[in-house]
Amino acid sequence: MGEYERMLSRKEVRATLHGFEPGELNPNLFDWQRIIVTRACRAGRYAIFADCGLGKTLMQLEWARQVCAHTGGAVLVMAPLAVASQTVAEGGKFGIEVTQCRDMPENPSGIYVTNYEMLDRFDVSAFDGVVLDESSILKSFTGKTKRRLTESCKAARYRLSCTATPSPNDLMELLNHGEFLGVMRSSEALSVWFVNNQSEAGAYRLKGHAIASFWSWVATWATAVSKPSDLGFPDEGFALPRLVERDVIVETDQRGDDGEETLFHVPSLSATSFHREKRRSLEARCEATAAIVRNYSELAHEQVIVWCYLNDESERLASLIPGAVEVRGSDSAESKERAARDFQAGRFRVLISKPSIFGFGLNFQQCSHEVFCGLDYSFESYYQAVRRVYRYGQSRQVEIVRVVGRDEQRILDAIGRKADMHAAERDSIARAVAGGSEAFRLSPPGRPIPQIPFLKEAC
């Protein structure tokens, strides 16, 4: 070995796989899903970044079932509010028993699902495995929720994180998944592959020479898939219908903060002034939204989801749309779950809520119309809310209407930029996985599981 090769060898960090060879897999899995579940079992700690409607629930439950069979113990699945009961129902469809619980079970055995809000009631160390459903909850680089989840789940030997949006706002957010899985601390990964972005205070960007190395590293502990062909399989049965997005622009109240009329109002949509600016167009947006929903009712009696971001918007919309069911954050968990089930069953026509309440994990594909009464800067909340209806299995054209004030149009531009970043990130991981990591070539049963190399880029 030459001096250069020895230098590279010194910079190589290896992490032994924590997994096992899975047993017979659920027959309901597609071939490409079987590959993902097998990778996740062999790795032991893994991330599945699969688009909405690609069967993340079945894959994570089958992974959990394999962990239970391997250990004879228990797995805890944590999910957003109202998703837990849906997970139980999905498990039943595929012959996987899942128990919903709100408190720590005695002598846990098998698969349990609870809401993230209940984490403090559980001793995660009593479980052999843990699953984070909609794991983008880890996104804050230094956030309290990320630290709490990471620390609480350290004792679980097997870990799985699943989401369609692993880093919706900043590429650095992807590192939190690696830290949760025990692959590498996010601060260490930051120093290896990222550098301060001189054009934006407090921001980081990938080092130019480290891009290929970074995505190769991510591909050793994650799979990103937006369609089966990403893994070399035909897309038959996974074609999405047409998506129509249109914008309705309403006028903004031009009065100044002192109530005086001004010739030109200069909008300020910073984090501190965001809600104040949105209230300038609140009445106009709510009236326009209600008119659109009434039009759907008159034309086709369609179910509609109305998304909003402020309590004042939610309350005003409920007063303008007769028969609509308003779900607020202050409602009990039971009433939220009941509203979700009733809407899925078609028992009422119009659901009014916030993406933070019903925008993650739920399947509302019996509906094909959504109206956003305004937007915020979060691409993730918008993308996830749209994907409640626009997902694989949707058979009808989906129409999304975004009602925004004239001064809020820059939010549409920000969401568009983040959508491009999300697509590029997903494609980068998919290409790296398709490039053929030696660790994940499906070897015959009984063959030893190879180690995964984590290469540090030379600085």
- CATH code for position 271: 3.40.50.300
Same domain, 392 and 448: no
Q: What is the DSSP letter of 260?
A: -
Distance CA 223, CA 221 (A): 7
Residue 142 is predicted with a pLDDT of 60
Better-predicted residue by pLDDT, 129 or 359: 129
Distance CA 323, CA 306 (A): 13
Residue 446 is predicted with a pLDDT of 37
Same domain, 178 and 224: yes
Residue 410 is predicted with a pLDDT of 83
Distance CA 372, CA 128 (A): 41
Same domain, 285 and 328: yes
> Residues with Cβ < 8 Å from 169, sequence gap 6 or more?
139, 378, 379, 380, 418
Whether the per-residue pLDDT at 16 is higher than 60: the answer is no
Same domain, 291 and 342: yes
Among 159-173, 175-189, 345-359, 441-455, name the one with the lowest average pLDDT. 441-455
Whether the per-residue pLDDT at 11 is higher than 80: the answer is no
Q: How many residues does the chain have?
A: 459
Whether the per-residue pLDDT at 339 is higher than 50: the answer is yes
Residue 112 is predicted with a pLDDT of 98
Residue found by looking up tokens 């250990």 in the block: 71
Whether the per-residue pLDDT at 414 is higher than 80: the answer is yes
Among 207-211, 229-233, 279-283, name the one with the lowest average pLDDT. 207-211
Distance CA 430, CA 447 (A): 26
Whether the per-residue pLDDT at 352 is higher than 50: the answer is yes
% of the chain exceeding 70 in pLDDT? 83
Mean per-residue pLDDT, 70-84: 94
Among 157-161, 170-174, 269-273, name the one with the lowest average pLDDT. 269-273
Of the ranges 18-32, 168-182, 239-253, the best mean pLDDT one? 18-32
Same domain, 315 and 351: yes
Residue 270 is predicted with a pLDDT of 54
| 422 and 166 Cβ atoms separated by less than 8 Å | no
Residue 168 is predicted with a pLDDT of 62
Helix (H) or strand (E) holding 320: helix 311-320
Short-list 342, 279, 341, 349, CA closest to 316 = 279
Helix (H) or strand (E) holding 8: helix 3-10
Same domain, 132 and 227: yes
Same domain, 22 and 154: yes
Same domain, 27 and 120: yes
Q: Which amino acid is at 222?
A: A
72: left (phi over 0), alpha (psi -120 to 50) or beta: left
Confidence grade of residue 253 (pLDDT, cut at 50, 70, 90)? low
Distance CA 11, CA 455 (A): 7
Distance CA 275, CA 309 (A): 9
pTM given for the model:
0.83
% of the chain exceeding 90 in pLDDT? 52
Same domain, 182 and 274: no
Mean per-residue pLDDT, 219-239: 88
Same domain, 228 and 323: no
Same domain, 404 and 434: no
Whether the per-residue pLDDT at 395 is higher than 50: the answer is yes
Q: Count structural domains, the chain.
A: 2
| 167 and 112 Cβ atoms separated by less than 8 Å | no
Among 70-79, 230-239, 441-450, name the one with the lowest average pLDDT. 441-450
How many angstroms separate the Cα of 256 from the Cα of each of 265, 287, 313, 444? 7, 22, 21, 71
Same domain, 137 and 79: yes
Average pLDDT, the chain: 84
Range of the domain at 128: 3-235+422-455
Give exposure, 209-247, as e/b (b: 16+ Cβ within 10 Å).
ebeebbbbbbbbbbbbbbbbebbebeeeebebeeeeeee
Distance CA 209, CA 458 (A): 9
Confidence grade of residue 428 (pLDDT, cut at 50, 70, 90)? confident
Residue 217 is predicted with a pLDDT of 85
